[in-house]
Amino acid sequence: MTENEIKLKAIAALTAVRGGVEASYVSDLLSEVIPTQFVVPVTRDPARIGLSVLEQLSGPLGALVSGFILAFDVVADAYDQTQPTDSTEAILQQLALDLASDDS
C-alpha cells in the first residue's frame, strides 16, 4: 500500500467517525494499513527482532499519522477562515488542559 493510499484511509476513517459510522468499521479500515506478517531476522536476540518489527511498522504508522495531520490542517484552516470566536490553537490548548486535568 502506498503512502497516499494510507493517508486516504486516515481521511476515510475521520470522515466515517464524523458521519457516525460504527467504531468497528473504522477499526477495520485502519487495520488495513497495518502489516499482518513481518519478516524478522533469524536470531535469538529479542532487541533485533523488535527493531525489525518496528522498522516495518514505522512507515505505515507514519503515513497514517501524516494523513490525520493533513486532514486536521485542512479542516482547521477552513475553520479559521470563518472568523471564529476561538482560534484552532485556543481550542487545542483547552483540549490539552482538559486532558491533563483528567489525568490528575
Q: What is the pLDDT of residues 31-79, one digit of tens each?
A: 999 999 999 999 999 999 999 999 999 999 999 999 999 999 999 999 9
CA dihedral 70, 71, 76, 77 (to 10 degrees): 60
pLDDT value, residue 59: 93
pLDDT for residue 26 is more than 90: no
This prediction's pTM: 0.80
Percentage of the chain beyond pLDDT 90 is 86
> And the C-alpha cell for 79?
475553520
Question: How far is 94 from 92, CA to CA, in rounded Å?
Answer: 5
